[in-house]
Structure 1
Amino acid sequence: MILTVTPNPSLDRTYEVRSLDRGEVLRATGDRVDPGGKGVNVSRAVAAAGFRTTAVLPLGGATGALIAELLGARGVDVTAVAIAGQTRSNIALAEPDGTLTKINAAGPELTSEESALLLETVRTGSGGAAWIACCGSLPRGLRPDWYADLVTRAHEAGARTALDTSGPALLAALVARPDVIKPNVPELAAAVGRPLATLGDVVKAAEELRSLGAGAVLASLGADGQLLVSEEGTFYGTASVSSVRSDVGAGDASLAGFLIAGGKGAPALASALAHGAAAVQLPGSEMPSPSDLRPDAVRITQDPPLDLPLSDTGAGPRAS
């Protein structure tokens, strides 16, 4: 069973538009509403793959109630922590060429009592969990070291931890030694304080974060594939994609694939790549089912091309 924790969940509304014309009235060619947030998406992908998952979420208001209802319909067990604030709603505009424009709301501010209750709920609900995935940005009211507390409690309960966050929350959590972290290139660059122009630069940055406490680093390289740096070795992989429809939640589907395949070595990386590639070819933040996967499209090597220039070297992290 994989338990996910999303401190700042959302209701995601995705509209497909022919083009994004500023100041114009746009008519959607398609739309969908999904429960969102990185950990929520991981749980949705785990459930779509046929595995057990529980999503621990702070939920408030009508939006929070709808998220719980939608997740239940998708086979995800929900453990809700009631909060006074209203759970946020996000909007994404998807163009035919795969360009995505997102508007993410800040979300409610959690009180110290709500923060403590969320940690305690994870502790009491973690029995039997093989992995606890801690995902997404921290809402207002939670300290940057909140994830460090969560990772420590998860380890005390005997569960392995996967962390997908950025900025101060990522750096603060390394002291608690998460089993795997999943940054993208901009987030990894921000963590080490320098731009990453090549695959070799990413390998060095991942090794630095491992020296600071990360057990393994699963780095998302966008169109350039994924890199896994761990005690088992360094693995680089790519997956061919016929077309990109939406990349919302693709990284989360990738993390789910990694975890359900055991979270170690080339087999887990191959599963991560297959799930991520399948997700970008689906509408909105729809999660792939086993029939969507194409394992034959995945290529993995332990001899990565270190001089490969990266297409995504931006300096700013992307949070959700």
Structure 2
Amino acid sequence: MTIVTHTFNPSVDITYTVPDFHVGDVHRPTETIKNPGGKGINVSKVLAQLGADLHAYAYLGGANGRWIADQLECLDIPVSAVMIEDETRQCLAINDGQHQTEVLEKGPVISQAAQASYIEQLKAHAHPEVMTISGSSPQFEGATALEHLREVLSTAQAHYTILDTRADDLKAALDSGLPIHCIKPNEDEFAQLVGEHPDTDKNFYQHMKTHTLLKGIDVFLTLGARGAIIKLDNHIYRATVPTIEAINAVGSGDSTVAGIAYGRTHFKQQPEQLIRHALACGMSNALQKETGKINIAQVENFATQIQVEMV
């Protein structure tokens, strides 16, 4: 198996379009979009659209979990789903055309038996070329999120692992010396990792080169409309992107992660092309109403417009 994805805390993502949204008022959405979600699910959806050889792993429970499993089957995404007792969460987004307000449920408790089943099933796809672990963690019975992550990494023995999670969990994983090969923080997450908010590109470069937590790992720092700063194989790159009018930015980071994973299997010896393609995936997602959705023609077009230079 070339790429394995993990979603420990999937969700049913519901987006309401509510023009002139005001807190405290009664609103009726002009549009409702329901998607199988969670960051790793979004990664899987984009990888499938790219034509990647992948297998997805997730904890799923209740009616929401069954609905996600059915949707993934419709998308021809192979998935090993460990069914749990609690209901898979829902995440709500309210988009008023200018801003997006999100309400994210915490997620279920994963029993020790479900954890053991997950690890046992993972053995069937050990040693993948690339593995992605994305999103928050639910509560694990008898284990911390870090202990569960360590068990997954130890079982999978991936050649290249991309971890995309919130800053405190990311820092804990890096502090523990777990075999993480790549991270994709945004600007705020990067600041939490290094303990300060760099105010110039040169400061970002310096942290990537010298900070203890980032030693020996690839860093794909996304800066929104300002592009990205990337460390690949200890080389630093600055990427600038064309201006777009985003429709829905949710899932763009996950689409970029999918692009990185895909790039490791297709552009490994072409770092500039890997960067352009990964960022183009994120940009295309921002122009779709659905999360984890890209347009291949857009990706190819954006990739020709993104400028990448080694610094």
After TM superposition, the score normalised by the length of structure 2 is 0.89
- Cα-to-partner distance string for 1:111-158 (whole Å, 9 max, x where unaligned): 23322332332233335x321101111111251423233233332xx5
Number of corresponding residues? 299
How many angstroms does 1:209 deviate by? Answer: 5.3
Alignment check: 8 A CA contact 2:255 2:292 kept: no
**Aligned residue in 2 for 1:240:** 242
Alignment check: 8 A CA contact 2:235 2:310 kept: yes
**Aligned residue in 1 for 2:76:** 75
**Aligned residue in 2 for 1:289:** 295
Please tell me the residue identity of whatever aligns with 1:268: L
Identity of aligned residues (%): 28
Does 1:277 find its partner at 2:290?
no
**Aligned residue in 1 for 2:55:** 54
Aligned partners of 2:206, 2:77: CA distance in 1, in Å? 37
Please tell me the residue identity of whatever aligns with 2:95: A
DSSP-derived class of the 2:245 partner: coil
Are the structure 2 counterparts of residues 168 and 243 from structure 1 closer, same or farther at C-alpha, using a change threshold of 3 Å?
closer
Please tell me the residue identity of whatever aligns with 1:91: L
DSSP-derived class of the 2:131 partner: strand
Aligned partners of 1:252, 1:285: CA distance in 2, in Å? 9
Alignment match of 2:308 (pick from 296, 300, 305): 300
DSSP-derived class of the 1:92 partner: strand
After TM superposition, the score normalised by the length of structure 1 is 0.87
Are the structure 2 counterparts of residues 159 and 28 from structure 1 closer, same or farther at C-alpha, using a change threshold of 3 Å?
same
Aligned partners of 1:259, 1:187: CA distance in 2, in Å? 20
How many angstroms does 1:211 deviate by? Answer: 5.0
DSSP-derived class of the 1:31 partner: strand
Are the structure 2 counterparts of residues 199 and 148 from structure 1 closer, same or farther at C-alpha, using a change threshold of 3 Å?
farther
Aligned partners of 2:168, 2:216: CA distance in 1, in Å? 15
Alignment check: 8 A CA contact 1:180 1:214 kept: no
Are the structure 2 counterparts of residues 225 and 23 from structure 1 closer, same or farther at C-alpha, using a change threshold of 3 Å?
same
For structure 1, list consecutive stretches of 5 or more residues without a partner in the other structure: 304-320
**Aligned residue in 1 for 2:103:** 103
Alignment check: 8 A CA contact 2:5 2:40 kept: yes
Alignment check: 8 A CA contact 1:5 1:134 kept: yes
Counterparts of residues 1-320 of structure 1 (less than 5 Å): 1-97=2-98, 99-126=99-126, 129-141=128-140, 142-145=143-146, 146-155=148-157, 158-174=158-174, 175-208=177-210, 215-262=217-264, 264=268, 265-293=271-299, 294=301, 295-303=303-311
Aligned partners of 1:100, 1:196: CA distance in 2, in Å? 26
- Cα-to-partner distance string for 1:247-296 (whole Å, 9 max, x where unaligned): 11000001111111227522211111111111111113141031232222
Please tell me the residue identity of whatever aligns with 2:162: A
Please tell me the residue identity of whatever aligns with 2:288: L
For structure 2, list consecutive stretches of 5 or more residues without a partner in the other structure: none
Aligned partners of 2:211, 2:162: CA distance in 1, in Å? 14
Alignment check: 8 A CA contact 2:125 2:156 kept: no
Are the structure 2 counterparts of residues 24 and 211 from structure 1 closer, same or farther at C-alpha, using a change threshold of 3 Å?
closer
Aligned partners of 2:90, 2:28: CA distance in 1, in Å? 20
How many angstroms does 1:43 deviate by? Answer: 0.5
- Cα-to-partner distance string for 1:199-250 (whole Å, 9 max, x where unaligned): 2333333335565555211111122111211325111112213311011100
**Aligned residue in 2 for 1:308:** none
